[in-house]
Amino acid sequence: MIFIFNVNVTAVVPARNEGGSIKATIDSLKAQTVKLSRIIVVANNCTDNTAQIARENGVKVFEMMKNTQMKAGALNYALEKILPAMPPQDCILIMDGDTTLAPTLVESCLACLAANPMAGAVSGIFTARPTSSLLGMLQAMEFWRYRRQIFQNGMRAFVLTGTASLFKAGALKAVKAARFKGTLPRSCGSYYDTIGRTEDNEMTLALLTLGYDCLAADTFAQTDVMESPKKLFLQRERWYNGALINLKAYGKALPWYLRWVYWRQQIGLFLSMIFLTLMLLTLLFCAIFGILQITWLWLLLLGMLAFERTATVWRLGVKARLIALCVIPEQLYSIFLVFVFDVSLSHFLTNKKGGWHAT
């Protein structure tokens, strides 16, 4: 069933050197069950043929050759051109240039907006593009479990993901106005924050601070995974560190219940770091002094963990089930992520300025 929505939807796709994927991205936009009014690709400091391919596929292209404000700067460049003339009920779909959408994504997001007058934006749920590597599969499994967390959170988005999120034009205009008034912590003079490292996370906090609901729709945006430990490290260090910086900047501006939700996530990561360190030290101590014993209780706990890990990725297929059943690959992956959080936390505490990596 296709709903009839009396709104125009414009897609804005910031893309840096996405010549290999931009056609698939555009095709997925053209295949939406709700026809888009405009598709705009922002070629952000591209040195490849991204802009050429986009034009050949019949979409509008804005080229930025000297953008120093990363993805947020590219988004602001496009939004400053198109948003002032848009009525508040119209919508902007923002998505990455390496992402493809389920055909009903826009329709599902519009239905969520229509059902909740307080909603300022709706996020799709990101899933991993097919991958043959173990590291890629571990990320795919992580993404799939994140979907479960969203359902448990009442379909409220933790972050309005850059892979695909639909915004009311009026909500974005309210964010810009609040930045000028000083209602929001950072006054960057435009829509997206150009000071921090995680513009999607900051936009979520901005909308929540202004009283909007940020929702998630049960629809998918398929994106790339990081195929090397180095790329994964750079991506997650930016995510973790950027979230900490944004939470510090917003401070008491967020309602208390939202402070609890977002700081609880960070505290959970911190406690995981402490627990993992203590566990490894305990195992090392027991191994050195010959007091490490495997009992039926440990085997029972291991079996319960393997069952839970396998059940929660069952729909991803046999490969994901086997990886989860082995337990060890996911535990090593968790250790790696905890290490990245440790680095991110140290950068946060020492005010070390990290870079933005197109990952």
Q: What per-residue confidence (pLDDT) applies to 249? A: 86
Core vs surface per residue 255-267: b (16+ CB within 10 A) or e: eeebeeebeeebe
What is the enclosing helix (H) or strand (E) of 168? strand 164-168
Q: What per-residue confidence (pLDDT) applies to 6? A: 82
Note the Cα 154 to chain centre separation in Å.
18
Q: What per-residue confidence (pLDDT) applies to 2? A: 47
pTM for this prediction: 0.89
| C-alpha to C-alpha distance for 74 and 13, rounded to whole angstroms | 9
Low-confidence ranges of the chain (pLDDT < 70): 1-5, 187, 256-257, 292, 354-359
Q: What per-residue confidence (pLDDT) applies to 229? A: 96
| C-alpha to C-alpha distance for 203 and 79, rounded to whole angstroms | 14
Amino acid identity of 265?
Answer: Q
Q: Give residue-wise pLDDT tens across range 105-131.
A: 999 999 999 999 999 999 999 999 999
Order the strands of the 91-95 sheet from edge to edge: 60-64, 38-44, 9-15, 91-95, 164-168, 119-128, 213-223, 100-101
Protein fold of 9-258: Spore Coat Polysaccharide Biosynthesis Protein SpsA; Chain A (3.90.550)
Q: What per-residue confidence (pLDDT) applies to 268? A: 75
Q: What per-residue confidence (pLDDT) applies to 352? A: 83
Q: What per-residue confidence (pLDDT) applies to 134? A: 97
Q: What per-residue confidence (pLDDT) applies to 329? A: 92
Q: What per-residue confidence (pLDDT) applies to 185? A: 83
Where along the chain do its domains lie?
9-258, 261-349
Question: Is the Cβ–Cβ distance between 204 and 243 less than 8 Å?
Answer: no
Question: Is the Cβ–Cβ distance between 64 and 16 less than 8 Å?
Answer: no
